[in-house]
Amino acid sequence: MEEKDLILRCQRGDEAAFEALIHLHEKKVYALCRRMCRDEDDALEAAQDTFLAVWRGIGGYRADAQFSTWLYRLATNASLDLLRREKKHGGDVSLDDEEARLDPADPAPQPEEAAERSEEQRLVREGLYALPDHYRQVLILRELEQLSYTEIAAVTQLDVGTVKSRISRARQALRNNLAASGNFFDRAASNHTERKGAETR
């Protein structure tokens, strides 16, 4: 059954259709929450909050916006709300190593390269999690979720100019965080983020 048909059935209170809709999007929602939150338990809670918000708000959903955009908004808001409630600070950001790279991996890295990349990933995760929530949100949506500026504007309900400015500031803040760990940012973060910054999608 197509997504739009499931949505229509959900709007009529069809719980079976809602379960099917969850199954269709649960991996994507959990992956986003996992990137936003510190650990698996927080990510699961945020994902559950997201789908609860979907169930409560599906009646008011209108097809003039993509369902995925609405879902991203609910997931990021649920994650940020959880982080604010618990007021957690410090430690490693909960990003899956395979998905969190800011640079693509070589097909078969040598052991030394693999060890270096693992350390870079750790530093990027720590630097990313140290960002303020509103910076981490847009940077994750841009760098990891690969959303366009227009899509991020729709998710965050900001204008495109504000999104671009916030992403630029977030990149600079991330570079500053990484610089505090040494010269890592010169070879890890800058290459990718500067390339992304040149895009105007």
Say which CATH topology domain 3-86 has. Answer: Rna Polymerase Sigma Factor; Chain: A (1.10.1740)
Q: How far are the Cα atoms of 44, 141, 177 from residue 182, in angstroms, in the given order?
A: 34, 26, 9
* pLDDT score for 200: 47
The pLDDT tens digits for 158-178 are: 999 999 999 999 999 988 888
What architecture is the 104-197 domain classified under in CATH? Answer: Orthogonal Bundle (1.10)
Instruction: Please compute the mean of the pLDDT values over residues 129-140 and round it to a whole number.
Output: 89
The CA distances from residue 130 to 37, 60, 175, in Å, are: 12, 35, 11
Helices 3-11/15-36 angle, 10° precision:
110
* pTM for this predicted structure: 0.68
Statement: residue 89 has pLDDT above 90: no
Nearest one of 94, 90, 118 to 30, comparing CA atoms: 94
Q: Give the separation between CA 138 and CA 152, rounded to whole angstroms.
A: 7
pLDDT at residue 104 greater than cutoff 70: no
| 104-197 and 3-86 share a CATH fold | no
| Residues 6+ away with beta carbon under 8 Å from 52 | none
* Between residues 183 and 138, the one the model is more confident about: 138
Write down the pLDDT at residue 117.
Answer: 63
- Closest to 158 measured CA to CA, from 177, 138, 140, 175: 138
Tell me the average pLDDT across 115-120. 65
CA distances from 149 to 41, 72, 126 (A): 30, 14, 25
Q: Provide the mean pLDDT of the chain.
A: 79
What pLDDT, on a 0 to 100 scale, did the predictor assign at position 125? 74
Instruction: Render pLDDT for 4-37 as a digit per residue (tens, 0 to 9).
Output: 999 999 999 999 999 999 999 999 999 999 888 8
| Domain residue ranges of the chain, discontinuous segments joined by + | 3-86, 104-197
Rg of the chain, C-alpha, whole Å: 18
Band (pLDDT 50/70/90 cuts) for residue 105 is very low
Q: Give the CA dihedral 97, 98, 104, 110, nearest 10 degrees.
A: 80
The first and second tokens of residue 14, run together, are 């069809």
